[in-house]
């Protein structure tokens, strides 16, 4: 049921102005992107179409329950009225943040963005994300302050990463709004109703790694287990002058773990078309996923498995079911960072929200120099901290008397565990 409400409504637990009788109504949502409703309504004999006015609010079903959408475009024709409406979240486009300059926890930054509004609005902002950061911007609308990925812009997602959950006037930023429900699909051919694209233009299966002072890692390069899937090794150089040579294998392995050696995959499932095929039952599990969920995708022919996220969907509000879903790469831009240059590791790290948050927690507590890696337990400097972990050529050590005191070896350079801490 689709109901329509006055433009100043902030609660939607009644029928409002009444129920409508649309002939078509769909909702489309993208991860951290567009969230819109399209409706077609006939000129019904009861005159319900007369209630359709710009800025009034439609309440319709979505995969996450009933949601409000504000009408921004109406187009009457000979058969009826075509309507476009945005999720109520987009009311924020009308506001302006004159000046944002806030730093601290993720919640503090969200509060700072809201406090910068030119006028108050009936929205709440919350997050359970960790780490610290800063957002500095001026003369931007609140949505840009939250979600902009422009190269020169400062925004919440560029600082903390994360994904937005929009539930009426409640806005929540999360590390991930979805989950891994154990859904897996296998494909080895294109099907009616399943549009698959694979892009290998940026695949890397052999990585040469260089660190501090241009020193290469031991052996010079690492090969992917998928190197034989392609006609030639796909060689890329990875360079980061902040890493010691013994840190490079881990950095390269992280790139392989994130899928830089696999094609970028995009899959669009059209359930109406798929339902006409014998293989439909193999893909019906996609009707149970939510936006942001992680799905395991297997290519039988190439013999690989990788994670992909539900990045968009189209929902039939009248039948309360999906018309289609789209899966995209878990870290869409990762392989573009596997190039020579200082940006290599930083871009790859910034693609992962979880890594971003950990980095925010330990910034200032980690020191890397020629002696190895130091982690301060009770301070932000190896010059002042007393409790310190050290990982270097002698293995993993622990000290409770600072860098100039005595060290207890926990794991020696051969990998033997000598003591606990």
Name residue 30's beta-bridge partners: 312
Name residue 165's beta-bridge partners: 172
Burial of 209 per CB tally in 10 Å (0-12, 13-18, 19+): buried
Burial of 47 per CB tally in 10 Å (0-12, 13-18, 19+): exposed
Digit-coded pLDDT (tens) for 96-146? 999 999 999 999 999 999 999 999 999 999 999 998 999 999 999 999 999
**Alpha carbon 27 to chain centroid, angstroms:** 21
| DSSP strands (E only) in 32-176 | 35-42, 57-62, 65-76, 80-87, 97-105, 124-127, 132-140, 163-167, 170-174
Checking if the pLDDT of 277 tops 90, the result is no
Mean per-residue pLDDT, 320-334: 74
Pairing relation of β-strands 18-19 and 24-30? unpaired
- What is the predicted pLDDT for the residue at 384? 79
Checking if the pLDDT of 244 tops 60, the result is yes
Higher pLDDT, 194 or 354: 194
Q: How far apart are CA 357 and CA 143, in angstroms?
A: 22
The pLDDT-based confidence of 409 (bands split at 50, 70, 90) is: confident
- What is the predicted pLDDT for the residue at 75? 96
The pLDDT-based confidence of 341 (bands split at 50, 70, 90) is: very low
The answer to whether 332 and 312 are in contact (CB under 8 A) is no
Residues 6+ apart with CB under 8 A from 19: 1, 2, 3, 48
Burial of 276 per CB tally in 10 Å (0-12, 13-18, 19+): exposed
Higher pLDDT, 380 or 242: 242
């Amino acid at each position: 049921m689709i109901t329509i409400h006055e433009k100043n409504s902030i609660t939607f637990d009644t029928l409002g102005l009444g129920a409508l009788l649309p002939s078509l109504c769909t909702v489309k949502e993208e991860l951290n992107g567009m969230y819109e409703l399209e409706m077609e309504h006939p000129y019904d004999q009861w005159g319900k179409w007369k209630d359709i006015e710009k800025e009034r609010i439609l309440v319709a079903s979505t995969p996450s329950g009933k949601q409000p959408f504000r009408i921004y475009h109406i187009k009457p024709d000979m058969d009826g009225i075509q309507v476009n409406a945005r999720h109520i979240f987009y009311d924020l486009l009308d506001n302006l943040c004159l000046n944002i300059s806030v730093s601290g926890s993720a919640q503090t930054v969200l509060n700072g963005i809201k406090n910068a509004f030119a006028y108050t609005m009936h929205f709440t902002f919350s997050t359970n994300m960790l780490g610290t950061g800063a957002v500095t911007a001026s003369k931007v609308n609140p949505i840009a302050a939250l979600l902009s990925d422009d190269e020169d812009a400062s925004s919440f997602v560029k600082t903390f990463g994360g994904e937005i959950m929009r539930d009426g006037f409640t806005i929540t930023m999360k590390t991930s709004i979805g989950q891994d429900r154990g859904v897996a699909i296998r494909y080895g051919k294109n099907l009616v109703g399943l549009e698959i694209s694979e892009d290998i233009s940026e695949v890397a299966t052999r990585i040469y790694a260089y660190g501090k002072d241009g020193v290469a890692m031991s052996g010079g390069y690492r090969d992917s287990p998928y190197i034989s899937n392609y006609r030639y090794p796909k060689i890329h150089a990875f360079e980061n002058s902040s890493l010691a040579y013994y840190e490079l294998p881990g950095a390269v392995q992280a790139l392989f773990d994130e899928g830089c050696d696999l094609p970028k995959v995009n899959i669009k499932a059209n359930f109406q078309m798929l339902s006409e095929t014998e293989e439909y039952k193999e893909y019906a599990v996609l009707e149970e996923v939510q936006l942001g969920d992680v799905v395991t995708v297997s290519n039988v022919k190439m013999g690989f498995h990788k994670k992909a996220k539900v990045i968009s969907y189209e929902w039939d509000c009248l039948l309360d079911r999906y018309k289609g879903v789209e899966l995209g790469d878990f870290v869409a831009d990762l392989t573009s960072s596997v190039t020579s240059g200082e940006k290599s590791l930083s871009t790859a790290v910034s693609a992962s929200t979880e890594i971003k948050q950990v980095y925010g927690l330990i910034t200032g507590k980690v020191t890397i120099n020629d002696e190895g890696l130091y982690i301060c337990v009770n301070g932000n400097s190896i010059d002042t901290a007393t409790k310190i972990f050290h990982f270097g050529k002698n293995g993993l050590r622990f000290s409770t008397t600072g860098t100039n005191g005595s060290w207890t070896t926990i794991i020696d350079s051969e990998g033997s565990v000598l003591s606990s801490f």
